[in-house]
Chain A
Amino acid sequence: MRGSTIVSTDRQPVYHNHMKRHTKGNFHQTAAPLLFLLPNILIFGLFIIVPAIQGLRMSLTEWGVFTTPRFIGFANFVELAQDAVFWKTFSNTIVYSLFTVSLIMVYALALALLLYKNTIKGEKIFRSLFYIPSLLSMITVGIAWRFILGDEMGIINYLLRRFGGSGIPWLTDSNLAMISIIGVSIWAQAGYYMVILIAGLQAIPIELYEAATIDGASRTKTFTAITIPLLRSTLLVVMVLSTIASFKAYELISVMTKGGPGYATKLIVQQVYQVAFLEDRMGYASAMSIVLMLIISIFTLVQFKFSGREQGYE
């Protein structure tokens, strides 16, 4: 048996050191996976890593679209620290993200719990109805909702006035404007996350629920002891994806409020666009983008840290 690769004792394969030496250099187990990954690695490197490095380099320069970049060290970051408008957009971004992500999680989970069992009549139609908004372009969604929420020309205010009420300043009051864009963001995106959560819920073995029922567990107990722990990894995916999306929200807000009134709904990405393309300060805009990237990274890492622990069940 010298040269044998596997020594079977208790029917479990055991790999010995000489086996590792043998497989080292095996094309199928070493180079082949790398070759399969190569296209993705190249695309990722070309379109993610290289632009990120380029962005970092640009953030250290003073540069307009039609001028030659001039190295200025960390001056852009120093200016950023004292830029009141940037910090306003920063706080807006945090508020928008916190509310959008947490409410999307709750709403999408509620929808998924209602619609995952295939027991309600017309369940698939409801799933489609809730999912359709996520297929629409955010620009279309923004235009449609501006048409609904507009102060003077909006449908809701038209109906309110028609029945003797007064209009509600959905988009001209600073607080209501933020609430409006959060609400529309949730409406537009929850369906997508609902589908992910339905897949997660359907992957939980039904036997666990049956065992819990036999043991006399209440619905709440089943939900907290079985559903949530086993859905944790899916919830983490939803949380990370929705957080990243919320930090990058641009089209919807640009169409619905243009970041206004004033700075009330202006997020960092809107400010980056304005500084880069309207004020022609590419270097400064790059510094903002770097800060945004760091914030997203920190949020994502924190989410992984607190939510990403593997859950097992006996």
Chain B
Amino acid sequence: MKKILGILLILVLVSTTVFAAGTKEETGKDVTLSVLWFNDANEDEVFLNTIDDYLQANPHVKLDMQIVAYNEFDQKLKLMISGGNPPDVARITTNTLSVVVDSLEPIDNHVADIEAVKAQFLPSMVAFASNPKGEFIAYPTEATANGMLINKTAYDKAGIDVDEVSKDWTWSEWESVVKKVVAANPEMKYGLSVDFTPHRFSTLMYQFGGHFLNEDQSNIEFDNPGTIAAIKWFKHVHDAGLVPKSVWLGSENPAELFQAGLVAGHIGGSWNINTYNKNVADFEWKAVRMPKAEINSSVPGGKFIASFKGSKNQEEAFKLMEAFADKTHNEMYSRDTFNIPSRVDAQVSYPSNSNDFEVFLEELKVTPAFTANEWKNTNLSKVTTYIREQIVEVLLGNITAEEAVANVDKKGATYFK
């Protein structure tokens, strides 16, 4: 009896093992793609909705989305890469691209005709997404630009036709206009808030004729008349009470100040259209052309998705990215996230705010090409925090604009050795 029981037990064990092996065989094709993501607003939801049809058609593909705060995103990604465990797919900005450029898996290795793929996207996006060897390293998902969003209700209350005055205004004209706006709106305290980032400051810097790097991008050259003029002007508008000190000195959120009706305008990114569309209900707002100093300029940027050298599921990752970047999906994603599409053939019909996107596109059209090259420079990305600190030192009155640019050049030169 014991022998029979023993044989039965062995049979059960063997059959269980065989079935288990069979199950493993069947699920062997299943792929879980790790996706590292950050949000400006609700892009993760839109991304998942956009590729829902792809996931339905490919049930063996699952996504493991890890959403990280933007402030911590670069560090997290760097640690994952340096630890030999990069994600299969990541959403990245132009800033991050410059940092991780050597770790990205070129799309060239995964498509038959890379030139045909590149031709589908805006030239500025292709420039950002190309590594020094000319390989295409990331699919552009949306184009971004810096621009000015204003509180139209406040301008109207001051009797100012903002569409008319902003057609071709200068910063000195803006100053006199915005003083009237603030005076006409008792709850309003300031004329403009500018994001606490070197990227947004560079909008002003380029308008004043300044730059970060020398012409061949081989060294930092922050010490130039345009940059000094921009820093001095920035200090002037802070001292004059036209710009709140709490943003650059106290790291308050400029978008919140705008939404609270405390400032008449905000220089931010095109993604703020989406934010304000959701959050602002108390007043009418719109995008207007930014005033000019020496020239009109914005700063181009973008968001991308990419895979990495050493990613575990590259094949499926590239299939997913290719699908997400096609015309239909790109239009859908751009429409639902209120972003400027990255494809040249995209025809996006936004539910609202089409005119605001047009304004940002107009800004991009007059932006000098070198600005994109500066912002994709890896060495510049290492010194931008120091640049921000030095500008704050000028705003505090601790150093002069001339001293700040000299300090930046001294420190920056160590990265361009």
Contact = CB atoms under 8 A, between A and B. Distances in A.
Given A261-B396, A262-B396, A172 B78 contact: no
Contact of A174 (B103, B189, B386, B396): B396
Contact of A260 (B74, B256, B392): B392
Contact of B382 (A171, A261, A279): A279
Contacts of B396: 174, 261-262
A48 to B, nearest CB: 20
Interface residues of A, number: 23
Interface string A48-68: 000000000000000001100
Contact of A257 (B251, B382, B389, B393): B251
A65 B78 contact: yes
A171 B246 contact: yes
B250 interface: yes
B38 to A, nearest CB: 16
Interface string A234-272: 000000000000000000000001101111000000000
A172 B395 CA distance: 11
A164 B251 CA distance: 25
A255 B386 CA distance: 18
A274 B382 CA distance: 9
A169 B262 CA distance: 17
Contacts of A174: 396
Interface in A263-297: 263, 274, 277-280
Contact of A172 (B79, B81, B189, B245): B245
A258 B252 contact: no
Interface in B243-292: 244-246, 248-253, 256-257, 260, 262
B74 to A, nearest CB: 7
Contacts of B395: 261
Contacts of B103: 66
A152 B249 CA distance: 12
A133 interface: no
Contacts of B74: 277-278
A197 to B, nearest CB: 35
Contacts of B251: 171, 257-258, 260
B75 interface: yes
A262 B262 contact: no
Contacts of A66: 78, 81-82, 100, 102-103
A150 B392 contact: no
Interface of B: 74-75, 78-79, 81-82, 99-100, 102-103, 189, 244-246, 248-253, 256-257, 260, 262, 382-386, 389, 392-393, 395-396, 398, 415
Minimum-distance CB pairs A-B, first 3: A151-B246, A261-B249, A172-B249
Given A66-B82, A278-B384, A280-B382, 11 more contacts: A66-B103, A152-B252, A152-B262, A172-B245, A172-B250, A260-B249, A261-B248, A261-B395, A261-B396, A262-B249, A262-B398
16 contacts: A66-B82, A66-B102, A152-B262, A171-B246, A172-B246, A172-B249, A257-B250, A260-B249, A261-B395, A261-B396, A262-B393, A262-B398, A274-B385, A279-B385, A279-B386, A280-B99
